[in-house]
Chains A and B, each alone.
Chain A
Amino acid sequence: MHAPDSPPTRPTSPGAHHPSRSTAPEGSRLSRPALSRRAVVLDAADLRRAHTRIAHEIVERNHGADGVVLVGLYTRGVAVARRLATVIAGFEGVDVPVGALDVAFYRDDIGLRPVQPLGPTEVPVDVAGRTVVLVDDVLFTGRTARAALDAITELGRPRSVQLAVLVDRGHRELPIRADYVGKNLPTKVAEDVRVRLAEVDGAPGAEPDAVDGIEIWGPDEETAP
């Protein structure tokens, strides 16, 4: 139910490509204290506004939407990228191509933790010469974004690459920053940022208003170190 940047596997869902590859094993997680919800950071309406603002910023920064391709990182980044494309089509009248990128094989922690691809990479256009906007839900250590840079340049040489995220929760371990941020969210490392999006976390056909939200979960006080 969460998608921090650091764990290499993100849970799939009924809407994901490989339902059989259910959830991350994450042995390390077993030793962690139980988490409980600390705060609801963004509700469905906040998320809608964040998408709207980021979509406008992307078009403004790039002087239009021509030559832009939105590439979502599995799993929730793909849903965010599709939403951004819908918003852009609404106010700019341009259908921005949307792709899906799997970064598993480019991670730097292969062999250190269980790593599984979350779906086939599908980018419908040649990225060469285009502006690629990588889209993810949460920016944390930056390692996923680094792997994504390797994965996308394998497909061609973009004119430029930008990064859009719903939440920047800090704690970067690499010199990476986002160009578009829904919300800057100071967190503790031990906390989880849990993102729910209707396309991934809801039943088929679920409305965003009924599902969407971003929460911070933290260790229970009595078990906290």
Chain B
Amino acid sequence: MSSAAAGRHLLSIAELGRDGIDELLGLSETFVEVNRREIPKLPALRGKTVATLFFEDSTRTRLSFETAAKRLSADTMTFNAEGSSVSKGESLRDTAQTIEAMGADAIVVRHRAAGAPHQVARWVDATVINAGDGRHEHPTQALLDLLTLRHRLGTRSFDGLAVTVVGDVRHSRVARSGVAALALLGARVTLVAPPTLLPESLDGWSCVTTSDLDDVLPETDVVYLLRLQRERQAAGLFPSVREYTTRYGLTVERAANMKPDTVVMHPGPMNRGIEIAAEVADGPASVITEQVTNGVAVRMAVLWWLLGSGTVP
């Protein structure tokens, strides 16, 4: 497939386009089946090395990538900024080049600065995968969300699907990648948040906004709750957690106003009782566990697509 040869990195959703998304989701189905096997392991990436380079804590994303790599028989290297040479002042560039010199074929980068993975991609010959950069993008999260939706809705077409994203959109790379991907596939996205937590500008966002969740919830097919970072309260962006929950939390009472088949999603980790009630998170409408499971399959697809499917350069 030409797109496999063209994309040596995965940095953003936009670069994938609709065709790339479709291709990766189709590929992911193959790995969903593999992951259900008694021995969920393939020899596909023997001899390849996948390094995770995380400058920000994210145990679940790192574990998901490492599990994906191991199930494809790749070797893995783990680099944590904590207690590493980074604390001795080593630059991002030196760190990335050092990892590459150890033989990494792919470097999975998580960094608090937007654009860091793009920088790394310019410095190394290895394949770079963005595992979350600042408030910019988190493409594999968007892909696993789409895969989960495909399964729950039983359709590949998201044309006209009403998706409501609730919470701290302004600081959320999950929202940025997710909205971009959903819009590419034809969904109608509504952002719901206090004005202080909405993006400063909607340039480049294909969506509408509101601050009234109760107004849009009954017409929503998919409600996507974002994690509320408590430090935003200290920054004065919302008055209190309790008030946030009252207006924007998916409480049991509020969930009762949803259509019976509305799907509830959350990227994790959840603040139970704040942005989502525990009963809703564990209820039949929730696909939160499936999101985690599908994360491994999607990351296997991404690793295979970048490292295994193409010709040698």
Contact = CB atoms under 8 A, between A and B. Distances in A.
**A-B complex is real:** yes
Interface string B1-32: 11011000000000000010011001101101
Contacts of B2: 25
A20 B17 CA distance: 13
Interface residues on B, range: 20 to 34
Contacts of A117: 27, 30
Contacts of A106: 42-44
Interface string A102-128: 101110001111111101111000000
B23 to A, nearest CB: 5
A115 B308 contact: yes
A106 B73 CA distance: 12
Contact of B37 (A25, A105, A154): A154
A21 B1 CA distance: 7
A21 B308 contact: no
B39 A114 contact: no
Contacts of B102: none
Nearest to B46: A110
Interface residues of A, number: 26
A121 B35 CA distance: 11
Nearest to B22: A20
A225 interface: no
A117 B42 CA distance: 12
Contacts of A27: 311
A25 B29 contact: no
Interface string A125-160: 000000000000000000000000010001100000
B37 A120 contact: no
B85 interface: no
A188 interface: no
A37 interface: no
A120 B30 contact: yes
B310 interface: yes
A18 interface: yes
B312 interface: yes
A18 B311 contact: no
Nearest to A120: B33
B32 A120 contact: yes
B33 A150 contact: no
A20 B19 contact: yes
B312 A111 contact: yes
B309 A20 contact: no
Contacts of A122: 33
A99 to B, nearest CB: 12
A114 B33 contact: no
Contact of B311 (A20, A105, A113): A113
Contact of A105 (B22, B23, B43): B43
A171 interface: no
Contact of A154 (B30, B39, B304, B308): B39
8 contacts: A17-B26, A25-B2, A25-B5, A105-B304, A105-B308, A111-B311, A116-B1, A122-B33
Given A17-B26, A20-B22, 4 more contacts: A105-B44, A111-B311, A111-B312, A116-B1
Interface of B: 1-2, 4-5, 19, 22-23, 26-27, 29-30, 32-34, 37, 39, 41-44, 72, 304, 308-312
